[in-house]
Amino acid sequence: ILRIQEILQTDRAVREQWGDRQSERFLSGASSIPPWIEVLVMGALVRPAVPEAAWSAALMQVPAGTELATLAGDSDASPEYLGRSPALRGARDALFLDVRPGLLGVMAPGYRQDAGRWSRQMSSRADPEISPILLEVAQRPEHIVLAMDLQDMLDPTRVRSRLEADDTLAREPSTRIRIATQLLRIRGIEMAITVGETIDSTVTISFNDDLMRQPAVFHKIFNSVLADMGLGIDEFDTAEPVIDGKTFTIRTPLAEESLRRILSIIVPPPPARPLAEAEPEPAAEAVQTPPKAARSAPLVTPREASRQYLLAVNHIIDDLKAANARAKTYARTATWHDNFARKIVNLSTIGVDQELIAYGTSVAGKLRAIAASLRGQEIDVSAQQSNLTYSYHSHPAWWSFNVWGGVDWGYGGYEVESNLQQVRQRQAEVVAAGAKDRLGVWQQIDDERARVETAMRQRYGDDFPGK
C-alpha cells in the first residue's frame, strides 16, 4: 500500500519538493509511479517453491477524469469490456481496467480470464477471499505498508539446514530445535513506513505461538535471510529487536536511499511510449455503454524521447550509486542491482536514438553482472572491449521481487543438510575476490556514460540532455 499524496503533502516532502522531483522523474521514465496517483494498493501471488512468475494486481485511486490511456499508453486497439469493466492492454502485457470513476485497476501478466473474473468479483457484493493476515495489515494507517503472508510457506528440512549452518545454534541443539519449530509456525511479515522529518520504519514478523525470549537470535536469522537474498538494508542490522508474545519487531529510521531501494521492488508498467505532460480531464458521468476508443497520449519528438531516456538511465545509475555509497555491506545488495537494471530495461524506447538504446541495454547488463558477482559468480572484465562474461559457481537462495514483472525465486545450489556452510564460504570468497572486477564494471559504466553524453551533445546540441 502506497499513500502517495499523503507522502507528498508531508512538511518534509513539500520543503524538499518531492512532488516536483517525482513528476520530473516520472516524465523522464526514471520513476514508474506517477505522482498524481493518490493511493496505490497492490497484491501478488508468490510461489517460492518453484521458479515461476506470479500474477500481480493493483488498484489505483486517481484524480477524477483520468483515462485508461494515460496509464496504458498509446494503443491501436479500442477498449473492450472484461467482466464489467472497460479494459485496455498496455505495456509489458498488462491489462488496465476502468473499475469506476477515480479507480483504475491493472493486472500483470494480462490474462484475460483472470482479469474478467477479477472485474466481476469487484462489482459483486460478495466479500472476496483474502488472507486474514493481509486484511489485518490493510488497516494500518502508515504511508507505506508492505506485507507477505508466510503461513505454511517454510519447508522444515530447509529451515533445519539453515539453522544448523549457524555457528551459535550449531552448539545449542535444543535451542535450535525449538527455534526451528517456532519458525515453522510463522504467520507473516509486514513493514510499515511513515515519512516525517525522519523516515521511520517498523518491521513486524508474527507467529502463531509465543516466541522464545531470544530477540538477538531471531534478529540474526532475519538479517541472514535478507543477506542471502541480496536484500540487505544496513539500518536493520543496528536496529534494536524486541519480542513481545507472538511478534518479533524492529524499529529504525531509514535513509532516503534505503527507502528508494525498498521502493525499487514496486515497478508499475511504464507507458507504451513517452508521454507529454497533460492534465486529467474533468470527471464524466459513468454510464454502462461501450467505451470510446482510447485517446492516444500526446507524442514527443525523437529528440525529446531520447532526452527523457538518457535522463532516466542516468537518474537510475545515480540513485544506485547514492544507495551504494551508504551501504556498509556492499555484498548484500545483489537484488537491488537487479531491480535497478530492470528499471532500465522497462523504459520506453519508442522514438529513442538507437545509440542510447544500446547504452541503456549495456548499462542494464553491467548492473546484472555486478548482481551476479555479488551472488558468488565470477565475472571476467575485458577493459579494452567493455565485455563481460559470467562463470557460474554457487549461491544460496536468491530472490527477485517485482510486483509488475512477477516474483522470481530459486533455492540455492547445494545439497540440503550437507554443504550449506561450504557454499556460503565459497560464495564469500568469490564475492571478495570479485571486488576489483566490480569496480572495473562501474568504471566501464562511467566511461560509457561520458562517451554517450558527448556523442549526444554533438548530435542534438550543447544543451542536451539538460535537467
Q: Per residue in 155-202, pLDDT tens?
A: 898 888 888 877 777 778 888 899 999 999 999 999 999 999 999 999
Q: What residues have CB less than 8 Å from 209, skipping those under 6 apart?
A: 182, 185, 246
Could you list the residue range(s) of the whole structural domain that residue 439 is in?
Answer: 270-281+296-460
Using DSSP's 3-state secondary structure scheme, residue 187 falls into: strand
pTM: 0.69
- pLDDT-based confidence at residue 49 (cuts at 50, 70, 90): low
306 lies in a domain? yes
Consecutive H or E run containing 198: none
Tell me, yes or no, whether 223 and 169 share the same domain: yes
Per the structure, how many domains does the chain have? 2
pLDDT digits (tens, 9 = 90+) for 457-467: 999 999 898 87
pLDDT digits (tens, 9 = 90+) for 396-414: 343 444 444 433 444 343 3
Given a cut of 70, whether residue 88 has pLDDT beyond it is yes
103 lies in a domain? no
Residue 375 identity: R
2 lies in a domain? no
Distances from the Cα of 454 to the Cα of 122, 203, 315, 387, 464, angstroms: 52, 45, 17, 21, 9
Tell me, yes or no, whether 277 and 232 share the same domain: no
Tell me, yes or no, whether 393 and 361 share the same domain: yes
58 lies in a domain? no
Distances from the Cα of 176 to the Cα of 206, 225, 277, 424, 464, angstroms: 19, 16, 57, 20, 60
Closest CA to 292 of 90, 105, 100, 86: 86
CA dihedral angle for residue 170, residue 174, residue 180, residue 185, rounded to 10 degrees: -160
228 lies in a domain? yes
- pLDDT-based confidence at residue 369 (cuts at 50, 70, 90): confident
